[in-house]
């Protein structure tokens, strides 16, 4: 008897998740464009300018296992609702912090933004919950493609609203973030993903965390995701500071970040198909090569063309590396292990991204030189992480273990 897989429910949920990525995801573009600039405005020490962005990543890292547990027990909708509530609350705190010029309170808002960011990170996994194995890479890719609209909405909202509450800078944009999260509450009411069945005493609950980490496919997937995401964040966090520091305008920095975010998500229309045609390891390897090309372009000069070229390549490289790593991970665990694997993955990924974000501000502002020299230091720091991911991927290919995994 032939079993025909019906992806009707998966496609319905996919529409909701694409819309969430597009609308709610715009707040992350706003946070990354303005986080360093608002930090520079509020902070008594320029070396701490990117700390608000670092705390977003830290908040995401720390909340990822908790968010995974909530979704495993109460379902995806409950976790995503928790995320939008945190997103709206964080933006309200940051508006008030800008009004009273409190750097410390602004940091609190940044940390809470990380809870939303953690929830958004699970959109890609939620797309696979009701999908067939054949539809899985395409579902992940299409959810990530929703970020294409976020790349347009976020920077344009910055331009339209950053001075809406003048003379308080940037506060208007954070007010817009509150509105985005209110939309999210109604959006997730349409999501229909069954809750995982509770584990009954005596039934197998899957591998332990240590056993999962020792699985070659899972280890390589996590390393690849850690490197792709942390390198993207390392460079992107410093980009607005570098652009403005090299004599260009804030709006030009917003346009460069917009081009970068477009480059992050436009390839998603094709990445799932590339994975089906060429295999996930080749797509990840291509992403690492493109990330290296981004660093080379950034080191070649500090003209607008260099910034645009480097950030566009950075986005494409992230897309191939991160979607490839997500697909590899999604194929390597059971339903019972889902919350454990996904929470562990995002905890480790965003832990590395937190370090990258902190390093970005230190390299950019405290390397003892000009903005140009700080920008060079940021891009040279990409090399060791590229070597780590490349080495892991080569080991995985040569070991032959990929032939026996799911």
**Distance between CA atoms of residues 343 and 335, nearest Å:** 13
Per the prediction, the chain carries an average pLDDT of 86
Is residue 201 scored above 60 in pLDDT?
A: no
Q: Give me the mean pLDDT over the 20-30 stretch.
A: 92
The number of CA neighbours under 13 Å toward the Cβ of 183 is 15
**For the stretch 317-346, what's the b/e string if a residue is b when 16 or more beta carbons lie within 10 angstroms of its beta carbon?**
bbbbbbbbbbbbbbbbbeebbbbbbbbbbb
Q: Would you say residue 213 lies in a domain? A: yes
Is residue 75 scored above 60 in pLDDT?
A: yes
Q: Would you say residue 197 lies in a domain? A: no
pLDDT band at 254 (very low <50, low <70, confident <90, very high): confident
How high is the pLDDT of residue 58? 87
How high is the pLDDT of residue 53? 84
Q: Tell me which range, 18-27, 34-43, 240-249, 250-259, is most confidently predicted by mean pLDDT.
A: 18-27
Is residue 395 scored above 80 in pLDDT?
A: yes
How high is the pLDDT of residue 368? 63
pLDDT band at 400 (very low <50, low <70, confident <90, very high): low
How high is the pLDDT of residue 203? 62
Q: Would you say residue 405 lies in a domain? A: no
Range of the domain at 332: 8-192+206-400
Q: Give me the mean pLDDT over the 45-56 stretch.
A: 82
How high is the pLDDT of residue 405? 38
Q: Would you say residue 1 lies in a domain? A: no
Is residue 8 scored above 60 in pLDDT?
A: yes
Helices marked H in 190-249: 209-213, 216-245
Q: Give me the mean pLDDT over the 314-337 stretch.
A: 87
Q: Give me the mean pLDDT over the 42-67 stretch.
A: 85
Residue 363: CATH number of its domain:
1.20.1250.20
If you compute the radius of gyration of the chain from its CA atoms, what whole number of angstroms results? 20
How high is the pLDDT of residue 64? 86
* Chain CA centroid to CA 257, Å: 14
Residue 2 DSSP symbol: P
Count of structural domains within the chain: 1
Pick from 63-77, 171-185, 272-286, 335-349: least confident: 335-349
Is residue 79 scored above 50 in pLDDT?
A: yes
The number of CA neighbours under 13 Å toward the Cβ of 75 is 11
Please answer whether residues 189 and 200 qualify as being in contact, where contact means their C-beta atoms are separated by less than 8 angstroms: no
Q: Would you say residue 198 lies in a domain? A: no
Tokens of 287: 């992403």
pLDDT band at 296 (very low <50, low <70, confident <90, very high): very high
Tokens of 175: 């007010």
Is residue 366 scored above 80 in pLDDT?
A: no
- In percent, the amount of the chain with pLDDT more than 70 equals 94
Is residue 4 scored above 50 in pLDDT?
A: no
Q: Tell me which range, 136-140, 193-197, 338-342, is most confidently predicted by mean pLDDT.
A: 136-140
* Chain CA centroid to CA 282, Å: 21
Q: Would you say residue 173 lies in a domain? A: yes
Q: Would you say residue 257 lies in a domain? A: yes
Q: Tell me which range, 99-108, 150-159, 216-225, 344-353, is most confidently predicted by mean pLDDT.
A: 99-108
Tokens of 404: 């026996």
Residue 4 DSSP symbol: P
Residue 171: helix, strand or coil by DSSP? helix
Q: Give me the mean pLDDT over the 122-129 stretch.
A: 88
Q: Would you say residue 18 lies in a domain? A: yes
How high is the pLDDT of residue 367? 63
How high is the pLDDT of residue 401? 57
């Amino acid at each position: 008897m032939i079993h025909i897989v019906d992806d009707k429910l998966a496609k319905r949920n996919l529409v909701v998740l694409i819309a969430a990525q597009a609308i709610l995801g715009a707040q992350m573009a706003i946070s990354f464009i303005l986080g360093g600039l608002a930090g520079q405005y509020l902070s008594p020490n320029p070396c701490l300018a990117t700390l608000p962005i670092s705390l977003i990543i830290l908040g995401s890292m720390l909340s990822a296992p908790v968010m995974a547990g909530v979704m495993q027990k109460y379902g995806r909708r409950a976790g995503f609702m928790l995320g939008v509530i945190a997103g709206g609350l964080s933006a309200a705190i940051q508006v008030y912090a800008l009004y009273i010029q409190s750097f410390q309170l602004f940091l609190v808002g940044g940390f809470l933004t990380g809870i939303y960011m953690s929830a958004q990170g699970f959109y890609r996994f939620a797309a696979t919950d009701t999908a067939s194995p054949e539809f899985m890479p395409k579902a992940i890719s299409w959810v990530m493609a929703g970020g294409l609209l976020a790349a347009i909405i976020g920077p344009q909202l910055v331009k339209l609203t950053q001075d809406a509450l003048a003379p308080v800078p940037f506060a208007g944009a954070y007010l817009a973030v509150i509105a985005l999260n209110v939309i999210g509450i109604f959006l997730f009411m349409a999501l229909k993903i069954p809750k995982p069945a509770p584990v009954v005493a005596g039934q197998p609950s899957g591998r332990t965390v240590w056993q999962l980490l020792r699985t070659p496919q899972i280890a390589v997937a996590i390393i690849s995701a850690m490197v792709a995401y942390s390198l993207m964040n390392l460079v992107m966090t410093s980009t607005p500071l570098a652009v403005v520091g090299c004599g260009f305008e804030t709006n030009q920095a917003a346009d460069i970040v917009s081009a970068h975010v477009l480059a992050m998500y436009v390839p998603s229309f094709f990445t799932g198909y590339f994975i089906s045609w060429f295999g996930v390891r080749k797509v990840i390897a291509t992403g690492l090569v493109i990330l290296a090309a981004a660093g080379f372009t950034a080191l070649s000069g500090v003209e607008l063309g260099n910034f645009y070229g480097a950030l566009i390549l950075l986005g494409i490289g992230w897309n191939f590396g991160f979607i490839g790593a997500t697909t590899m991970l999604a194929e390597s665990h059971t339903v019972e292990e889902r919350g454990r694997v996904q929470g562990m993955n995002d905890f480790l990924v965003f832990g590395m991204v937190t370090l990258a974000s902190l390093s970005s501000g230190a390299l950019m502002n405290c390397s003892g030189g000009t903005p140009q020299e700080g920008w060079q230091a940021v891009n040279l720091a990409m090399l060791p992480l590229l070597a780590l991911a490349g080495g892991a991927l080569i080991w995985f290919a040569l070991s032959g273990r990929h032939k026996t995994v799911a």
